A = this chain, B = another copy of it.
Amino acid sequence: MLEIIKPILAQACELKPDLPILVGVSGGPDSLCLLDLLHRVGYPLVVGHFNHKLRPEADDEARMVAELAASLRLPFVSEADDIRGCAEAESLTIEAAARLLRYRFLFAQARQYQAQAVAVGHTADDQVETVLMHLIRGAGLVGLKGMGYRGFLPEFDEAIPLVRPLLDVWRQETLDYCTTHGLKPNFDSSNDSLDFLRNRLRHQLIPSLEAYNPRFRQALWRTAYSLAGDYAILSEVLDSDWAECVRREGGGFVAFRAAVLSEFSPAVQRNLFRRALHQVRPGLADLNFKALERATSFLSDTQVLQVDLIEGTRLFREADQIYLAAWEADLPLGGWPQFPAESDSMAIALPGELELPNGWRLSARRLEIADLEWEQILQNADPFQAWLDVDDSDESLSVRPRRWGDRFQPLGMKGHAIKLSDFFVNVKLPRRARAKWPLVCVGETIAWVPGYRLAHPYRLTKTVRGVVYLSLKHAPT
């Protein structure tokens, strides 16, 4: 078994030969086999034993593991904790509390000893039981791929991996190994009592499945192994696609770059929507074809502005983005200039500056007509700056949000004003941003809609009387 396990240790578990490993040793056949193998390969080891104190023989077993460590001249660390108390305090099952305290202890010791990894003795049987458990409860690829040879449990440690070198060794093989090498394992009945579901799977369900296929365990192990490979690729692809097309994500929403998302294949789109839906509605159970199909159809039909998906989520377009959002989501307005909620109107001094929410700042000043750089003004490509024909004799300048009945005469549209609400629709200003969009007025007349258009009467002409330069800039703090 030593020769079989070596490449798994070096490659799948990525263990370096000369850095310590914290081995979790319960004293059962799996962990004794693991300890013995790691010791024979020559890794520097620390033996960690967590005493669950749930059975009368627990202290004897802890002592046996301690003696074994001593006989191998390995450091031994041990801890006992009140599992029943923890389970009650944290509303956990006994098994969940035991797992929590055990891993907390093992990783704390691993940090203490600067171990490169925590190693545990999960076997191929554990893998099969885990996958079956996920399958029965309902799982996607993530669950069905089972445990990995090497992985992280960030809730215990972000940097030290958990390795499982025995994942393709069957429980019976660890028993045989112990017999061959004179190891005397404990036979811990608490696994069964601790974990009733796993126990029933092991002793009832798996044997009944073996009635359908005598090599069911092997078959399910291979399925998990094969799915793990698929998952690795899929994660790469989807992580990269997600990064490419998600512009921002936050409480209850994901904002996609519409143009990027539309270029992906429907299969990728469905997966990205699925991921976004699970992010927006973490417990989402009833995701099905119809919801995802509504989402992908929405992408191709650009006339539709909004569509309901499932469980109070919706998709809608906004400028060059597509939002997948929960109805209650607090969608970001930070990207847009908005008028402060508490004010009706703010006067603009000349020269002067006004702070608007979210890091926007309006600055205004008079320019001398003689100094005007007409070239620059004619070529201006920034819709957030403007030159207005405003004389001293004009009414004073102010900024305010829209009001009922506002009208506006866009530059180039001679002779008549249109409803401001129609103008907003025409320029596709996102609906959510309209109510508080800052409007620069001369007296009561809208003279400039920043980001969009100057009012026709305030454009510069050869008969210009006076010039005010306005600029709205975003510089988030």
Contact = CB atoms under 8 A, between A and B. Distances in A.
Contacts of A294: 7
Given A135-B135, A213-B138, A293 B11 contact: yes
A223 B289 contact: no
Given A136-B213, A137-B219, A149 B289 contact: yes
Given A233-B267, A289-B8, A223 B140 contact: yes
Contacts of A141: 141, 226-227, 230
Contacts of A274: 226, 229
Nearest to A270: B229
Q: How large is the interface on A (under 10, 10 to 19, 20 to 34, 35 or more residues)?
A: 35 or more
A138 B222 contact: yes
Interface stretch (A21-29, A234-242, A416-424): A234-242
A258 to B, nearest CB: 20
Interface string A142-168: 001000010000000000000000001
A288 B168 contact: yes
Contact of A140 (B149, B213, B226, B288): B226
23 contacts: A7-B293, A8-B290, A8-B293, A11-B297, A12-B289, A135-B220, A136-B209, A136-B213, A138-B216, A138-B218, A144-B223, A205-B208, A205-B212, A208-B208, A225-B289, A229-B267, A229-B274, A229-B292, A230-B230, A230-B271, A233-B267, A236-B267, A237-B237
Interface of A: 4, 7-8, 11-12, 135-141, 144, 149, 168, 197, 200, 205, 208-209, 212-213, 215-216, 218-220, 222-223, 225-227, 229-230, 232-234, 236-238, 265-268, 270-271, 274, 285-290, 292-294, 297
